[in-house]
């Protein structure tokens, strides 16, 4: 591996490595107004939600590396203590990118990007009509992390009003990622799109405590076929299936045919079983994969 010491690096190189490695990052498309009421709009990928009670989102308009100047958004939130955090869908990606240009003070990025400014309900900055979700926020505090170029400024924002487009909700009442179609920031000029096969589900552990990879039998844990992800899925199971369950599964025709050859070609059949278990795990069928993997023990 290549190793680096940040204190020994030039800021542009360090910045590039950090942003390429810590990704994808959600984008806060922040609308503000200055002390005279002039609107401003700019995207920031140093952003996330950090609390639900109270609802807190934090974004960071870092000092420019070149010139060590502050951004209009930072100046505005310090002056007015309000902002709107709009999320960015794929349909508005290039307009968002246009709004990130270094326009002069007082230039209206809504007009430059062609995006629509609509009034907020409890604060003064405008919302972006095209954004599928908009958060009206009161700024609690701004934490300055440094005075040199590249230093972040954490804008701690409390969400006081939320707006969701009607068509983004799924049947469970929560926003559907396929309908939101959000984009996120990578390093350099790269982005990600949270849509299609790029979006997938991984069940949360909840109250179930998995047995762990260390509890998986050695012949399975040391498999040359199963991946680390496969072992992680298996380790999430709270316990092994019983011998009775495994033997009942072994009696099924679809596996019995394979196992009849076990005494003749054990290594070959074991590999076949592990490949099939890998397929089952990829499909989310952990219970059946366990039974298949333990079947050879059942017939000893």
Q: How much is the pLDDT for 132?
A: 98
pLDDT tens per residue across span 148-182: 999 999 999 999 999 999 999 999 999 999 999 99
Tokens representing 249 are 């599964």
Are 299 and 250 contacting, i.e. CB atoms less than 8 angstroms apart?
yes
pLDDT tens per residue across span 45-73: 999 999 999 999 999 999 998 888 899 99
Q: How much is the pLDDT for 262?
A: 59
**Quick one: pLDDT band at residue 194, thresholds 50, 70, 90?**
very high
**Quick one: pLDDT band at residue 201, thresholds 50, 70, 90?**
confident
Number of C-beta neighbours around residue 189 at 10 A: 7
Tokens representing 224 are 């040359």
Biggest alpha carbon distance in the chain?
A: 85
Domain 6-198 has CATH 3.40.50.10420: no
Cis check: omega of the bond before 24, within 30 degrees of 0: yes
Q: Average of pLDDT values for 120-127? A: 98
Contacts with 67 (C-beta within 8 Å, 6 or more apart), sequence order: 149
Q: How much is the pLDDT for 60?
A: 97
Q: What is the CA radius of gyration of the chain?
A: 26
Spell out the domain ranges in the chain: 6-198, 213-298
Mean of pLDDT over the chain:
92
Q: How much is the pLDDT for 300?
A: 55
Q: At what angle do helices 266-282 and 228-235 cross, to 10 degrees?
A: 70
Global confidence as pTM: 0.87
Q: Average of pLDDT values for 78-89? A: 98
pLDDT at 264 over 80: no
**Quick one: pLDDT band at residue 106, thresholds 50, 70, 90?**
confident
Tokens representing 61 are 């308009």
Residue percentage of the chain with pLDDT more than 70: 95
Residue with tokens 């299609």: 196
């Amino acid at each position: 591996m290549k190793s680096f010491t940040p204190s020994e690096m030039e800021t542009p190189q360090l910045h590039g490595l950090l942003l390429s490695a810590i990704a994808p990052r959600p984008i806060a498309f922040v609308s503000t107004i200055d002390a005279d009421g002039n609107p401003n709009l700019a995207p920031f990928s140093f952003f996330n939600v950090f609390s639900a009670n109270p609802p807190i989102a934090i974004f960071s308009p870092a000092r420019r590396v070149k010139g060590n100047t502050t951004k209009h958004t930072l100046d505005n939130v310090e002056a007015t203590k309000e902002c709107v955090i709009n999320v960015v869908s794929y349909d508005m990606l290039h307009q968002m990118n246009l709004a990130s240009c270094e326009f002069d003070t007082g230039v209206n990025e809504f007009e430059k990007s062609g995006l629509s400014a609509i009034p907020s309900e409890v604060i003064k900055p405008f919302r972006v009509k095209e954004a599928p979700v908009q958060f009206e926020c009161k700024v609690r505090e701004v934490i300055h992390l440094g005075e040199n170029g590249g230093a972040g400024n954490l804008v701690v924002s409390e969400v006081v009003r939320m707006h969701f487009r009607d068509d983004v909700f799924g049947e469970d009442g929560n926003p559907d990622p396929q309908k939101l179609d959000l984009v996120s920031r990578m390093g350099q000029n790269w982005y990600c799109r949270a849509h299609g096969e790029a979006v997938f589900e991984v069940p949360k552990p909840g109250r179930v405590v998995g047995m762990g990879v260390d509890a998986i039998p050695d012949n399975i844990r040391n498999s040359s076929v199963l991946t680390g992800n496969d072992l992680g899925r298996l380790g999430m199971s709270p316990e092994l299936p019983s011998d009775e369950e495994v033997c009942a599964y072994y009696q099924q025709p679809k596996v019995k045919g394979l196992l009849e050859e076990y005494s003749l070609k054990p290594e070959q059949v074991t590999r076949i079983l592990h490949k099939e278990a890998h397929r089952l795990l990829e499909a989310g069928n952990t219970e059946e994969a366990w039974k298949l993997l333990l079947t050879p023990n059942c017939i000893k």
